Amino acid sequence: MNTHALPPAFSERVEFAIPEFDSRPKIILDMTKIKIGENRLVESRLVNGATYSDLEYTFNEGYREARKHLTTIGYEITRAKKRIEDVKSILILDKYPAFLKENKMKDNATIRDAFLQKDADYVAAKDRLDMLNALESLMDGKIKVFENVCRYMRKEMDIQNRSGINGNKYIR
């Protein structure tokens, strides 16, 4: 990435890594534009005609990056759910009947859930899904913040334009 295109206070990339799992490789999410947008959120309080377009561009860049990552995370969630179902079907069909017979137990939901929770692959797949759901919630929150701040800035600019008062006090 060209670090000259970043603001001086932001000369490094910010990344978030989704660890590898099963046959899925490690996924690196570039969070630089999102972080730049978050760092400039406070500037939206003082938006005026001179700063509006730059701020909106910055927030839209962060929004687009977050949406892109949300898509990636959504795909990974689908893959994790599929992995859970694959592991679960192997355990229930292949190993669970022998477990019941060996321990002289009758099948019920509590025993089945306990049996599944003892399998490392099943627990790892569930943990992966939980991690991805938390990450999805994080990205969704960032998207909502960018949407709300852009909506606020548009309303503020509309108020300034309708008031007839020049928001830029340096120009008469």
The pLDDT of residue 13 is 86
The pLDDT of residue 12 is 80
pTM given for the model: 0.82
* Alpha carbons 102 and 99: distance in angstroms, whole number: 5
The pLDDT of residue 172 is 44
Nearby residues of 105 by Cβ (< 8 Å), 6 or more positions away: 99, 111
The pLDDT of residue 3 is 43
The pLDDT of residue 161 is 82
The pLDDT of residue 7 is 56
Nearby residues of 124 by Cβ (< 8 Å), 6 or more positions away: 21
The pLDDT of residue 163 is 79
| Chunked mean pLDDT (size 10), the chain, 172 residues | 50 88 92 95 91 94 97 96 96 93 90 94 96 97 96 91 65 48
